[in-house]
Structure 1
């Protein structure tokens, strides 16, 4: 009888551990994870802005950077974040000389540089849209440790219309391109602005 009780307690402990792991995975999906960065964050890349300019990782050097990954067909998270980023930037850096920001598409099949450039420009004069060849974009997305996955709108038609499940946080990089934290989706605006002021101050 005693052995049975011990066995039952062991099973409860194992189930509790498994449940905790699943809860952790679900709660962290779509959120950028803190990354130790001894050098420039991410990987080298070559993408294109809405104006047709070539942009590489060197663009993230010399000035602190906000970096967001999204897509133009996004129904809520991306337009909301883009709008909020614009507001944070105007509050934390009114003159626009201390901070820069980029919106990288996770859906390059639909978001050409021109399409993304128009989308971003309709909301903000402080954010630069980046896209390019699908293979180049997705290599950059993976190299910056961003979660992005195509999800069919209708599971019965996997090759039909789709949306994108993706990391919803804004990455913060310092003037040397090193990872310095994130701003989570839905974060308190005052907290977000203070993070940007701290980032700009070095």
Structure 2
């Protein structure tokens, strides 16, 4: 058996270094990807503050015609749903669960401001929102604004919205949109979110644990 040449040894060492580099890179990816995912897509029910890239400043018009910003709600929890008054199903059901959960909380509910931010500023005027929110909860606030203002709020909360043709609608369109309910803390940071299938019991119980 002949001894390996110096050139062969160098090639073997180079191959080993490459393999070690790939292995270390794979370990780094395994460690990093869950952290990135946790920041961008937190699991429903997490209560950690500041881990999710959800929320941010907005300036909109409420259902009474008053200009408001996110800063106006500091010191209170915000329970935020993005939806619209012509929404046929998920928005009304989510708002009903929100309202019932607040009623179940009793005095704790005073620390929470329920908010509906429209994704349909073309149709959802302050007057339209006023009639709509009153049918769900006396403290529910409806927010609208210019298309640019509403879009900025949607981007801050990572809300998906897509206009789709709908011949049954008088406006000729409907809106597909994500339907998460976000709980923001008194400092304006994300606390948790609720999916559209969240039950009244689940929402009320989690709110009771977080809102102290």
TM-score normalised to structure 1 length: 0.74
Aligned pairs, number: 165
- Bigger drift between 118-127 and 71-80 goes to 118-127
SS of 1:47's partner is strand
Task: Kindly report the root-mean-square deviation, in angstroms, between the aligned alpha carbons of the 2 structures.
Answer: 2.2
Of the three residues 179, 196, 202, the one matched with 2:207 is 196
Of the three residues 109, 115, 123, the one matched with 2:136 is 123
Of the three residues 76, 79, 87, the one matched with 1:63 is 76
Runs of 5+ in structure 1 lacking a partner? Answer: 1-31, 155-159
Of the three residues 124, 137, 140, the one matched with 1:111 is 124
Query: Partners in 1 of 2:115 and 2:72 — Cα distance?
Result: 10
Of the three residues 187, 192, 198, the one matched with 1:181 is 192
Of the three residues 180, 183, 203, the one matched with 1:172 is 183
Task: Quickly say closer, same or farther: Cα 1:162–1:168, change in 2 above 3 A.
Answer: same
TM-score normalised to structure 2 length: 0.71
1:62-101 alignment, distance < 5 Å: 62-94=75-107, 96-101=109-114
Stretches of 4+ moved more than 4 A in 1? 38-41
Task: Quickly say closer, same or farther: Cα 1:137–1:194, change in 2 above 3 A.
Answer: same
Task: Quickly say closer, same or farther: Cα 1:144–1:130, change in 2 above 3 A.
Answer: same
8 Å contact from structure 2 (residues 98, 200) kept in 1: no
Higher-Rg structure is 2
Query: Shift of the alpha carbon at 1:101?
Result: 1.0
Query: Shift of the alpha carbon at 1:42?
Result: 2.4
Query: Shift of the alpha carbon at 1:193?
Result: 0.3
Query: Partners in 2 of 1:144 and 1:190 — Cα distance?
Result: 25
Is 1:34 equivalent to 2:45 in the alignment?
Answer: no
Deviations 1:137-158 (A, max 9, x none): 111111221111111115xxxx
Query: Shift of the alpha carbon at 1:38?
Result: 5.8
